Structure 1
Amino acid sequence: MQRRQLMRLSGAGVLCAPLTIRHGRAATPEPVDAELILAIDVSRSIDAEEHETQMRGYASAFRDPDVLRSIMGGEIGAIGCCLFTWSDSDSQEDLVTWARIGDAASAERFAAAIDAAPRRTWSYTSISGAMEHALRLYGRSPFEGTRRVLDISGDGMNNSGRRLDGVRATMLDAGIIVNGLAVVDRAPAAGSGAVVLEDYYRDEVIGGPGSFLVVAEGFEAFDRAVRRKIAREVAGREQARRFAGLGRVDRMAV
């Protein structure tokens, strides 16, 4: 039984948990406040400069004092985190594997790994494929968080792979919180009619208790948006009061 389940069932007299089986071996996962997966859109609508802006934004977030305070302010004072890029339904690339972040040194190592990661872009936009890949990564996580959060950023709508609603429902049924970072510097994709990307991410992508969407009005606002978003996602109960007044959609302009 997982630590998340134990917390929910502690009042029902649950006393202990068996070992979790991972890759055919018995292992005790390391407790963290959150298991955070960062999923970055690198479809053909993202040019080289925008891709670099995204990667630089995520790296700088882990060097930001406010983000580090949020990470260290939890009950345990650490998170488990990994990062991958996505585009087509079968095009996901793990760039930074699962790592424990709990102090300035480990945060800097994570940021440096993002800096050193390759920059490659692909073709279509498969948010459903990204979610399916995230589910596999959670299955291989060496951590046990009280929350599991998928942070998915992009500038387009699902146009490849499985239907998004079914995969999203699987994630929510598994207790995974899905937050979004929508970059709205382009008109919505052809064929989307009057649907705006912000509405799409709010209604079709994010979900779970306390889920929220950050809207970056252009890639110029991405750096500030991603710092704000990660700080909010990993905030412990004390730090969460800083974000208590924010709604489900948080807009960031230059």
Structure 2
Amino acid sequence: MGAAVLAAFFVAASAVSAVQPGSIDVDVELVLAVDISYSVDEEEARRQREGYVAALASEDVIRSIQGGPLGRIAVTYVEWADSGFQRAAADWTVVASEEDALAFASQVAAAPLERGHYTAIGAALADAVNRIESNDYTAPRLIIDISGDGPQNQGLPLDQARALADNAHVVVNGLPVISADSGRWVRPVEVNLDDYFRDNVITGPGAFVLPARTEAEFREAILRKLIIEIAGALPSPGEVDPFLAQRTGRAP
């Protein structure tokens, strides 16, 4: 990324930081940041979105929301790819009931499916931080839930994107979508994507990686991840990656 573009990211972040705090209290501010680059074919991109829609409308997620101190969260669903491609399929919405959850899920499902070429994880994180800092909400927990099927190949360096999240007290959790086969679900990658997300993407107290390797596992991972994030819990020992205790100083 050129120096001028990089500078623009930090100017934007600084400007957003000056915005007055939001006036609507919620338990969690959650950005669902979903990879929609061309490494995911159109059929599988639609199935990926359907997995989020099903999870958002599930009884378990709704119960988790209603079990919080205020019983409501603010959530937005953002699809991303290139460094200049981050689009909200559903903008910030307060979800406090089954009706709210179903309406938000329907909005995500109905949004046009647009794609981008590259995988700019850093730019997606910077965009998500800006969305959190510029919204109309306040919450004790700020979370970016980012999925991806490969390592970054364009855009803002990940160490700088993570610094933006750390400075804004935003936790970044990762959902790497992993496959050894080409074409069916996602393209194969040349790195260990679990390790890549642990070492380069996630950040913040309690941050974790929950990988998915099949379509069915992807749907289950989304559901579990949302419940964990909304409830403010930790993954179970069978789910958690071995780096969690090292990053947080807490045993799984």
Q: Return the letter of the residue paired with 2:198.
A: R
Secondary structure of 1:99's partner?
strand
Among residues 221, 240, 246, which one is paired with 1:248 in the alignment? 240
Off by >6 Å, runs of 4+ in structure 1: 24-27, 187-190
Measured against aligned partners, the alpha-carbon deviations of 1:75-121 in whole angstroms (never above 9, x if no partner) come to 11110000111001011111100000011010011111011011122
CA contact (8 A) 2:172 2:204 kept: yes
- What SS does structure 1 have at the residue aligned with 2:83? coil
1:71–1:77 contact (8 Å) kept in structure 2: yes
Does the CA-based 8 Å contact 1:149-1:177 persist in structure 2? yes
Distance 2:43 2:20 in 1: 44
User: Aligned partner of 1:227: which letter?
Assistant: L
Matches within 5 A, 1:130-209: 130-186=124-180, 195-209=191-205
Q: How many corresponding residue pairs? A: 224
Q: Is the CA contact (8 Å cut-off) linking 1:185 and 1:219 kept in structure 2?
A: no
- Residue pair 1:99, 1:110 contacting (<8 A) in 2 also: yes
Taking the aligned partners of 1:163 and 1:187, their CA distance within structure 2 comes to 28
Report the Cα offset of residue 248 of structure 1: 3.5
Change in CA separation of 1:127 and 1:26 when aligned onto 2, cut-off 3 Å? closer
Pick from 209, 213, 231 the counterpart of residue 213 of structure 1. Answer: 209
Aligned pair partner of 2:66 in 72, 77, 84: 72
Cα 1:145/1:76, change in 2 over 3 Å? same
Find the counterpart in structure 1 of residue 53 from structure 2. Answer: 59
Question: For the structure 1 residues 42 and 141, does the alpha-carbon distance in structure 2 shift closer, same or farther, using more than 3 Å as the test?
Answer: same
Residue 13 of structure 1: aligned partner: none
Task: Give the distance between the partners of 2:21 and 2:119, measured in 1 at CA.
Answer: 36
Does the 8 A contact of 1:181 with 1:213 survive in 2?
Answer: yes
Tell me which amino acid in the other structure corresponds to 1:218: T
CA distance in 2 between partners of 1:177 and 1:163 (Å): 18
Larger Rg: 1
Partner of residue 84, structure 2 = 90
5+ long unaligned stretches in structure 2: 1-15, 243-252
Higher share in strand: 1
Q: Which residue type is aligned with residue 140 of structure 2? A: T
Distance in 1 between the 2:136 and 2:162 partners? Answer: 23
**Cα deviation digits, residues 40-66 of structure 1 (max 9, x gap):** 101110101110111101110111111
1:245 to partner: Cα distance: 4.1
Contact 2:21–2:137 (8 Å) recurs in 1: no
Alignment of 1:38-57 (within 5 A): 38-57=32-51
* Identity across matched positions, percent: 36
Q: Take 1:203 and 1:248, find their aligned partners in 2: how far apart are those partners? A: 15
Q: CA deviation at 1:225?
A: 1.2
1:183·1:215 contact (CA, 8 Å) conserved in 2? yes
In the superposition, the TM-score normalised over structure 1's length comes to 0.81
TM-score (norm 2): 0.81
Deviation readout 1:229-253 (Å, 9 max, x if unpaired):
10110015xxx38x45455339xxx
Q: How far, CA to CA, are the matches of 2:161 and 2:60 in structure 1?
A: 33
Distance 1:154 1:122 in 2: 13
What residue in structure 2 maps to residue 102 of structure 1?
Answer: 96
CA RMSD of aligned residues (A): 2.6
CA drift of 1:140 comes to 2.0
- Runs of at least 5 residues in structure 1 that lack an aligned partner in the other structure: 1-21
Aligned to 2:10: none
